[in-house]
């Protein structure tokens, strides 16, 4: 299972459904409802993931993390952000301490 391929395939499906029929596609419905709704779903899934972690429920953290990642990718698509953009930013931060990285953002 090539992890990058999974993200690429999911991004392609999301992009293909962007202008689709909102009565038959959840992704199309999210896009139709707009960025605020998409962002709300990202927030909800993030909270659900955190709650599952607090409850020490490993399987639920995995499930909710998948939901979070999916909704995050919908948000990225809405904002014309690719996984490659995120990987580039992660690579830029690699090797920086968290404190140094945060200070660099504040400058």
Q: What is the pTM of this model?
A: 0.85
How would DSSP label each residue in the chain? --HHHHHHHHHHHHHHHTTS-TTT-HHHHHHHH-HHHHHHHHHHHHHHHHHHHHTT-HHHHHHHHHHHHHHHHHHHHHTT--HHHHHHHHHHHTTS-HHHHHHHHH-
Averaged over 13-24, what is the pLDDT? 95
Q: What is the mean pLDDT of residues 48-75?
A: 98
More confident call, 2 vs 60: 60
Return the pLDDT at 2: 81
pLDDT for the residue numbered 51: 99
Class of the 3-81 domain?
mainly alpha
């Amino acid at each position: 299972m090539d992890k990058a391929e999974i993200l690429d395939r999911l991004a392609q499906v999301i992009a293909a459904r962007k202008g689709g029929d909102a009565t038959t596609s959840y992704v199309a419905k999210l896009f139709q409802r707009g960025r605020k709704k998409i962002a709300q779903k990202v927030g909800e899934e993030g909270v659900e993931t955190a709650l599952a972690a607090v409850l020490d429920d490993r399987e639920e953290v995995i499930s909710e993390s998948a939901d979070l990642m999916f909704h995050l990718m919908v948000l990225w698509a809405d904002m014309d952000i690719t996984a490659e953009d995120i990987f580039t930013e992660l690579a830029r931060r690699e090797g920086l301490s968290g404190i140094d990285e945060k200070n660099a953002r504040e400058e």
